[in-house]
Amino acid sequence: MSCPLCDTPGGTLLWQDDFCRVVLADEPDYPGFLRVILNAHVKEMTDLPAVDQATLVRVVLASEAALREVMAPDKVNLASLGNVVPHLHWHVIPRFADDPHFPNPVWGSKQRDTPHAVPADLDALLRAALYSQGVGRGSDDA
């Protein structure tokens, strides 16, 4: 069975090591929408040894910190769903009072039509902020 997170990067690669990667998702309504994706095909957090669980959570939190540093969102949403793609990954989503769905979840009813404005060099700013957070556990960075 094919898995899109095994077969593709899952977005624009911002950072990676041998364990996981952080990508900028192609979500036009949500610039800055990050995914932290485990490189191995694993379905649930509890399938990982405790040390790997802690490592993945550290990368999720570093991703949140990078978004806060670069974008100063009103709120950050963290979600690990995998209902459609049962490959362990986390969504790290900057939320703004003027984003299309606020205060609803990003998968809820749309409240307005325009995304929050962001700088043109958002990819580079997020990449630099991730590196400054010292994400991951190794030095096999992208």
Which segment of 33-42, 68-77, 127-136 scores lowest on mean pLDDT? 127-136
Vertex 76 angle, CA 70 and 79, to 5° = 125
Q: How does pLDDT run across 16-72, given as a tens digit for each residue? A: 999 999 999 999 889 999 999 999 999 999 999 999 999 999 999 999 999 999 999
Query: What is the rounded average pLDDT for all residues in the chain?
Result: 90
pTM, whole model, 2 decimals? 0.85
Residue 77 has pLDDT above 90, yes or no: yes
Residue 141 belongs to some domain of the structure: no
Residue 37 belongs to some domain of the structure: yes
Structural domain count of the chain: 1
Q: What is the largest CA-CA distance in the chain?
A: 43
Q: What is the CATH number of the domain that holds 94?
A: 3.30.428.10
How are strands ordered across the β-sheet holding 20-24? 12-16, 20-24, 34-38, 89-95, 75-79
131 with 141: CB under 8 angstroms?
Answer: yes
Residue 69 belongs to some domain of the structure: yes
20 with 37: CB under 8 angstroms?
Answer: yes
Residue 85 three-state SS: coil
Residue 139 belongs to some domain of the structure: no
Residue 137 belongs to some domain of the structure: no
Strand runs (DSSP E) across the chain, as ranges? 12-16, 20-24, 34-38, 75-79, 89-95
Expressed as residue numbers, the domain containing 42 is 4-132
Residue 127 belongs to some domain of the structure: yes
Residue 142 belongs to some domain of the structure: no
